Amino acid sequence: MNVTRELFSEVMVPNYNPAAMVPVRGEGSKVWDQDGNEYIDFAGGIAVNGLGHCHPELVSVLKDQGEKLWHLSNVFTNEPSLRLAKKLVDATFADKVYFANSGAEANEAALKLARRYALDHFGENKDQIISFKQGFHGRTFFTVTVGGQAAYSDGFGPKPGAVDHAVYNDLDSLKAIMSDKTCAVMMEPLQGEGGIISPTPEFVEGVRALCDQHNALLIFDEVQAGVGRTGELYAYMGLGVTPDILTTAKALGGGFPIGAMLTTDAIAASLKPGTHGSTYGGNPLACAVAEKVIDIINDRKLLDDVLRKEQLFRDGVNKINEKYHVFSEVRGKGLLLGCALNEDYKGRARDFLVASTEQKLMCLVAGANVVRFAPSLIIPDEDIAEGLRRFELAVAKVAGA
């Protein structure tokens, strides 16, 4: 069969518009297309490939588990899921873990748990969920409604109710809509899709205090920011604020689909048998791979090196910007970084993405005004340097230099 980009348009639902080139092989932070062209990967599958492509230890675990046990229903448990859950519990604030297949599913579970916990402890009137404008929590109808971007949630009929949105980094906007009817506040400890926005210490501490005041649960969506991305295993660890529920996915499986919701014993008790479930959640293949990911990434030396690499990116982008004057700032933390375009280039993030692809560099956007980097956490320094060289060529082209 002749597999080309044209075949995509022929057989796939048109909700995506992928690049013209078709990747066929990856190794580390490099990818090759059908014609043998080499690309440097600063996108990481949207913060998923935390250990790059085809990491030998992950490949080995996948092969080993693939010859043992692929799937069981949740009528049974399995060893990889129990080992992974124990490692997540030991490494975090949590006592209990629920496994799903994606970040959206982990968030769906978190939101349902928050509502059920409020019902169990405070009655049916405590049902308001608050999140933040420009937030992103997934594409199920519940999670896309909680996410604060109408462009993603409009046009599908009546939305789930009792969901409101405050302004990120604006405590007063949260205070104005929060009350004892609030059952949960959901936030990203570093906004991803919304433009790579870091929270101020005052804001994140204030959100925690308001949740305590109103007996509301604080849910941290760490789907993009978690698993080493900010230089901590989970971003909350660097903020001095502990959530009641945390969701994780993306880099957790290093490219293999898996998501998880972490919480405490007291809160988890509201998800009694039969209240929620997942056919594939906790399957042995995914959990075996994710266990190895946690083993590798939950290492202080690796996490510290993420922050060193962050500085290489910041220095490189700033050097490029001294020549071409296209960015107003570099935002983010660790290896989740956003190059925010200045007024002269407003709305043109996709132009930079397309130009980068032409220069054999894979990157991302975060909205119309931010070019996003979310590379492997172990990307070699020489790949950072070469990728930035290619990025400069792309910037030069867009800037007309």
- List residues with catalytic annotation: 136, 221, 250
Helix extents (H) in 155-299: 171-177, 201-213, 265-268, 284-297
* Residue pair 320/392 in contact by the 8 Å Cβ criterion: yes
Rounded CA-CA distance 397/108 in Å is 42
Name the DSSP class of 196. -
Q: Looking only at Cα atoms, what is the longest distance across the chain? A: 63
Rounded CA-CA distance 257/192 in Å is 19
Rounded CA-CA distance 128/353 in Å is 38
Question: If we measure between CA atoms, which residue out of 138, 129, 241 comes closest to residue 189?
Answer: 241
Long-range contacts of 57-60 (CB under 8 A, 24+ apart): 57/292, 57/296, 58/254, 58/255, 58/256, 58/289, 58/292, 58/293
Can you spell out the DSSP letters for 369-383? SEEEE---TT--HHH
* Residue pair 72/78 in contact by the 8 Å Cβ criterion: yes
Task: Tell me the two tokens of residue 306.
Answer: 């993420």
Q: Which residues pair with 361 in a beta bridge?
A: 40
* Residue pair 197/165 in contact by the 8 Å Cβ criterion: no
Rounded CA-CA distance 177/228 in Å is 33
Q: Tokens 């990025």 belong to which residue?
A: 391
Rounded CA-CA distance 112/278 in Å is 13
